[in-house]
């Protein structure tokens, strides 16, 4: 693996067009129709940058790619979970009945129901689950919101701490303080900026390089809690996303830790302790996993044929009527 420039010296503001490079293009009949700009960092668990594309020191909101680190903090409270429950606590799930059943089981076991969740009521993330719910005459709910498992995990962790579960999203809450310190410890850098995520939980900004390092440490199973989380994800990959969806397929076929985040983010970590973090500048998701897998394949960290099978299942072809006339192509011009 070859070390490359890590973009240090470009400052720590938000990722900009100037700090981005072309990651991928959409071609139609030989003409580039769209270009995806952004940045990507390939980093090992010790923080060594193995490859940098664009400004990987720029500040980003990691969104749901932080969930594995949040789960490490939750496990550190002593809270206990079945495998599927722990994966749901780490998930951006598609809102299927199977996902909702696990969340309802978690809440019931803790003497609660959906009213205890402080995430917003939303439609399922998955189109099929959303259509089925509409057809059944049902509306958005807190349990079908894609972060509901994380919130159920936060409630259980609050109980383990003996803290007030009614205020579990307050940044001053003992659990949220633990999550913040865990993020800083595992990424190796102080939180740069804090906000509120779409699910109403505190959200902490970091760099792509630091985010990749934190995920590399988790995927390597570098502590008992990280090893516990990785075993659970390997055992119940459907729960982190959904059958046939990008994260679940990557976990099943490549043996990695994969986690999407809103606004064009994905992280993928290998058992060898190397992870890639990708941010697409305009927030589009369609190039995230292809770019991440291309970087891992380039460095010999995942099998090329297996990665190609994942991409064939998740990347929509460019059609002209019924004919395939183009494709998404990873360029990594950085």
Query: What pLDDT score does 209 carry?
Result: 98
Q: Tens digits of per-residue pLDDT, 212-229?
A: 999 999 999 999 999 999
Beta carbons within 10 angstroms of residue 98's beta carbon: 16
Query: What pLDDT score does 2 carry?
Result: 35
Query: What pLDDT score does 4 carry?
Result: 38
Strand, coil or helix: 311: helix
Task: Let me know: does 88 contact 106? Beta carbons within 8 Å.
Answer: yes
Query: Would you state the torsion angle of the CA atoms of residues 97, 215, 153, 131, taken in this order, to the nearest 10 degrees?
Result: -20
Q: Tens digits of per-residue pLDDT, 44-97?
A: 999 999 999 999 999 999 999 999 999 999 999 999 999 999 999 999 999 999
Query: What pLDDT score does 10 carry?
Result: 45
Q: How far is it, in rounded angstroms, from Cα 286 to Cα 297? A: 18
Q: What is the pLDDT along the chain (334 residues), one digit of tens a residue?
A: 333 334 443 458 999 999 999 999 999 999 999 999 999 999 999 999 999 999 999 999 999 999 999 999 999 999 999 999 999 999 999 999 999 999 999 999 999 999 999 999 999 999 999 999 999 999 999 999 999 999 999 999 999 999 999 999 999 999 999 999 999 999 999 999 999 999 999 999 999 999 999 999 999 999 999 999 999 999 999 999 999 999 999 999 999 999 999 999 999 999 999 999 999 999 999 999 999 999 999 999 999 999 999 999 999 999 999 999 999 999 997 5
Q: How far is it, in rounded angstroms, from Cα 139 to Cα 125? A: 13
Task: Let me know: does 144 contact 132? Beta carbons within 8 Å.
Answer: no
Q: What is the pTM of this model?
A: 0.94
């Amino acid at each position: 693996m070859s070390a490359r420039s890590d973009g240090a010296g470009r400052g720590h503001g938000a990722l900009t067009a100037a700090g981005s490079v072309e990651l991928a293009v959409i071609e139609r009949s030989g003409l580039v129709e769209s270009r995806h700009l952004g940045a990507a960092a390939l980093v090992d668990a010790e923080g060594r940058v193995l490859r940098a594309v664009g400004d990987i020191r720029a500040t980003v909101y990691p969104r749901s790619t932080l969930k594995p680190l949040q789960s490490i903090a939750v496990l550190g409270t002593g809270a206990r979970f079945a495998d599927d429950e722990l994966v749901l606590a780490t998930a951006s799930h598609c809102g299927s009945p199977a996902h909702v059943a696990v969340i309802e089981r978690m809440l019931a076991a803790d003497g609660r129901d959906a009213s205890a969740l402080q995430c917003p009521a939303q439609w399922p993330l998955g189109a099929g689950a959303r259509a089925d719910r509409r057809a059944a005459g049902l509306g958005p709910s807190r349990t079908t919101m894609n972060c509901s498992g994380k919130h159920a995990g936060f409630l259980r962790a609050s109980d383990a701490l003996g803290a007030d579960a009614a205020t579990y999203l307050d940044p001053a809450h003992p659990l949220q303080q633990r999550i913040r310190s865990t993020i800083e410890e595992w990424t190796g850098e102080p939180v740069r900026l804090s906000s509120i995520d779409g699910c109403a939980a505190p959200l902490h900004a970091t760099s792509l390089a630091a985010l990749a390092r934190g995920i590399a440490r988790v995927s390597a199973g570098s502590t008992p809690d990280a090893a516990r989380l990785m075993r659970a994800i390997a055992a119940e990959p459907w729960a982190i996303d959904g059958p046939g969806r990008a994260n679940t397929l990557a976990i099943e076929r490549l043996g990695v830790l994969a986690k999407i985040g809103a606004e064009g983010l994905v992280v993928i970590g290998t058992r060898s302790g190397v992870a890639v973090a990708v941010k697409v500048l305009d927030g589009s998701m369609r190039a995230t996993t292809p770019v991440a897998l291309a970087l891992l394949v380039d460095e010999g960290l995942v099998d090329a044929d297996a990665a190609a099978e994942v991409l064939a299942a998740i990347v929509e072809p460019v059609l002209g009527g019924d004919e395939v006339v183009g494709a998404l192509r990873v360029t990594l011009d950085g």
